[in-house]
Amino acid sequence: MKITVLKNILDANLQTAERNQRLLESHGILAINIMASPGAGKTSLILKTIEGLGKEVAIGVIEGDIASTVDADRISQAGVPVVQINTGGGCHLDANMVANALDTMDLKKMDLLFIENVGNLVCPAGFKLGEQKRVVLASIPEGDDKPHKYPSMFSQTEAIVINKTDLLPYLEFDMKDFKSTVNSLNHGVRLFEVSAKTGHGFDAWLSWLKEEIKLLRK
Ligand code: MG
Ligand code: ZN
């Protein structure tokens, strides 16, 4: 019985996600679902991306959080349209929440939409939102074992960004092991090594985003 209920929820979510995706595609918007554990630097990655790309690409942001508008306030200060979704305790975003957020946004003036998911490496993987691409963010202080512990998150993503590389000299993080694990889970996945603090590695990340926007509009 339980299994049936869960399946219905996921089916309904998938239908709404597909509707969101068609809506975004019809406006030529590249939507990226950013998933990570709390504190990996999702908001910082978005802010640094706005800094590097904001002049040539119109960016919008949906901020998912259990509570508060702290992150949305930071994005708003960067001069980018942002909608906050508070899940009221819920540990992931779903497609319906995103549909409601999209209703309030001016999609005609947007090239790139970041959907910052709730900080959690488990259930966000099971809920499509209507994104074109998934990006999982990992960070050096979390350790190199995250792909071993949360394989479904790392196997269902188009790109992995490893953040806080400025801390590599101070912490134990086996980059070789991390890369070989994610490659065995998700062969050929795009990998970016960045520091949202120093800007290290951002050229490749920004080029990828621009390329994906171009491909979407072909
Ligand atoms: Mg955040
Ligand atoms: Zn959840």
Q: Quote the ligand 2 centre to 14 CA distance (angstroms).
A: 15
pLDDT digits (tens, 9 = 90+) for 1-42: 567 777 888 889 999 999 999 999 999 999 999 999 999 999
- The angle at the Cα of 61, spanning 6 to 154, to the nearest 5 degrees, equals 50
pLDDT digits (tens, 9 = 90+) for 206-217: 999 999 999 999
Task: Kindly list the protein residues that place their beta carbon closer than 5 angstroms to ligand 1, a single-atom ion.
Answer: 42-43, 71
Q: Which ligand is nearest to the CA of 75?
A: 1
pLDDT digits (tens, 9 = 90+) for 53-89: 999 999 999 999 999 999 999 999 999 999 999 999 9
pLDDT of residue 8: 83
Q: Quote the ligand 2 centre to 174 CA distance (angstroms).
A: 29
Largest CA distance in the chain: 52
The closest alpha carbon to 83, from 108, 38, 113, belongs to: 113
Residues 6+ apart with CB under 8 A from 76: 82
Q: Quote the ligand 2 centre to 93 CA distance (angstroms).
A: 7
Q: Quote the ligand 1 centre to 218 CA distance (angstroms).
A: 32
Q: Which residue has the higher pLDDT, 2 or 115?
A: 115
pLDDT of residue 112: 98
Q: Is residue 111 very low, low, confident or very high in pLDDT (cuts 50, 70, 90)?
A: very high
pLDDT of residue 87: 95
Q: Which ligand is nearest to the CA of 91?
A: 2
Q: Quote the ligand 2 centre to 57 CA distance (angstroms).
A: 31
pLDDT digits (tens, 9 = 90+) for 87-109: 999 999 999 999 999 999 999 99
Task: Kindly list the protein residues that place their beta carbon closer than 5 angstroms to ligand 2, a single-atom ion.
Answer: 91-92, 123
**Residue 116 pLDDT greater than 80, yes or no:** yes
Q: Quote the ligand 2 centre to 177 CA distance (angstroms).
A: 28
Q: Quote the ligand 1 centre to 121 CA distance (angstroms).
A: 14
Model pTM score: 0.95
